[in-house]
């Protein structure tokens, strides 16, 4: 159990590299300064509420189980031109395949959005770049892990949408030809 705690704890507090004193100051502020930490949480709560309202997030059918993610993922993927297959949704960009699926294994209840992403070449499916969850996407977009911190049904649905939309942006970036 002790090996899991630092991953969760440190991924939020420490930037990818700690080469400056600013990083240690930010870490100290998050760990020690209660007022700073509470202000940060309140800021993201307000941002989530505003975004939930702006996108008119609907949570009908949500019970908190992983299987409830499938209809939401299906609606979001289809709206972004991913083709539905048996257990996943795919989009081909050139010779690359971008795949979205739902991880139904383990705990049947959602802790974070159980979305899995894979990128592979059409001819070489055994060489897959596998991304799962907000912490993987955090490397690309700092602050994105906040979408994996779900407090209620609307946060989960918003998180699912954000994960799929970011993956779509990554996919579409491969369709642009260099200038």
Q: What's phi and psi for 128, nearest 5 deg? A: -110, 135
pLDDT of amino acid 177: 58
pLDDT of amino acid 33: 78
* pTM flag (> 0.85): no
Helix and strand numbers, DSSP H then E, in the chain = 6, 5
Residue pLDDT, tens place only, 109-139: 888 888 899 999 999 888 888 887 656 787 7
pLDDT of amino acid 134: 57
| Whether 69 contacts 161, CB under 8 Å | no
Q: How confident is the model at residue 23 (pLDDT cuts 50, 70, 90)?
A: low
Residue pLDDT, tens place only, 78-89: 999 999 998 899
Q: Domain ranges in the chain?
A: 61-173
pLDDT of amino acid 50: 87
Q: Which residue has the higher pLDDT, 103 or 176?
A: 103
Q: Can you tell me the distance from the alpha carbon of 122 to that of 140, in angstroms, rounded to the nearest whole number?
A: 24
**% pLDDT > 70, the chain:** 79
Look at residue 76 and tell me whether its pLDDT is greater than 90: yes
């Amino acid at each position: 159990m002790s090996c899991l705690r630092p991953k969760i704890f440190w991924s939020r507090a420490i930037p990818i590299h700690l080469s400056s004193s600013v990083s240690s100051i930010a870490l100290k502020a998050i760990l020690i300064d209660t007022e700073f930490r509470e202000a940060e949480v309140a800021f993201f709560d307000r941002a989530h509420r505003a975004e939930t309202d702006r996108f008119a997030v609907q949570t009908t059918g949500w019970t908190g189980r992983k299987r409830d993610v499938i209809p939401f993922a299906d609606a979001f993927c289809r709206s972004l031109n991913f083709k539905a297959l048996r257990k996943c949704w795919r989009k081909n960009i050139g010779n690359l395949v971008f795949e979205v699926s739902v991880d139904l294994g383990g705990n049947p209840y959602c802790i974070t959005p159980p979305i899995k992403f894979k990128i592979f070449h059409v001819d070489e499916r055994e060489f897959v770049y596998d991304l799962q969850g907000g912490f993987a996407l955090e490397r690309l977009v700092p602050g994105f892990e906040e979408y994996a911190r779900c407090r209620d049904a609307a946060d989960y649905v918003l998180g699912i949408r954000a994960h799929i939309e970011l993956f779509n942006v990554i996919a579409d970036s491969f369709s642009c030809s260099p200038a």
